[in-house]
Amino acid sequence: MKVFIRPQSFSAISFDLDDTLYDNRPIIQKAEAASQQFLQQHYPKSTQWQLRDWHRLKFDLLQHAPELRHDTSLARVVMLERGLLMLGYDVAVAKEGAKAVLEQFILYRSQFAVSKEVLELLQALKRRYRLVGITNGNVDHLRIGLDGIFEFVLHPGQGVKQKPAKEMFVQAAQRLGIPLASLLHVGDSASSDVDGARRAGCQAVWLNPGFGSATIARAKMQVPHFQIQSIFQLEQLL
């Protein structure tokens, strides 16, 4: 564990989820493959497109409607509905199909479990600190083994911006009833987690490289209070 800024006392720890507590890449790949299979089975005109075509459409949508970045589920629904319309389905079918495919994606997106070792670490930390989750993703934390560990998990959407915006950090501190400086945030992203937490007035731990990765990243605008190379280095907080 490297210390860059002398930490203040803190009473709660917030965790990013994807690529911080588990390797999210194979999970997303599986969810996209499953939803693509469902899409092509029930909406055969979609066989004209490959996954890269959907990714290109999503990129274009985000370029023209950047507010969709703050709600990953809504962005996927809009992408699917727009794509089905472009493929020749009518509005009603496109809306129904987008909703059905999103449900399939969410189902597989949360079809895994956080490792026993990570859960044991969180349980140990919970005996000393209050724990919450702050994620830009749409994983269902109750289905992946985090039920009873986090007091709550915050997601963007419904007008709440994703990290690095400060909204979710502020919400977390308010719900916990603590000052922002008493919240220590742990995450793998230099921009979303470190810059976001520091900008909001929280303390930050940077997991670098992220879970399942071997690539060391560079800091963006802010430096963290701590930098760790393994989530298990958080045992030092005990």
Give the catalytic positions in this structure.
16
156, 168 Cβ separation under 8 angstroms: yes
Cα radius of gyration rounded to whole Å, the chain: 19
- Rounded Cα distance between 230 and 37, Å, is 35
Q: Is 159 left (phi over 0), alpha (psi -120 to 50) or beta?
A: left
How many Å apart are CA 78 and CA 84, to the nearest integer?
A: 10
3-state secondary structure of 133: strand
Q: Phi and psi dihedrals of 191, rounded to 5?
A: -85, -60
Find all residues with CB under 8 Å of 181, minimum gap 6, and list them: 8, 10, 201, 202, 203
Residue 134: CB partners within 8 Å, gap ≥ 6? 14, 15, 16, 153, 154, 163, 168, 169, 172, 185, 187
Question: Is 135:17 a contact under the CB 8 Å cutoff?
Answer: yes
Beta bridge partners of 88: none
Measure the CA–CA gap between 108 and 118, rounded to whole angstroms.
21
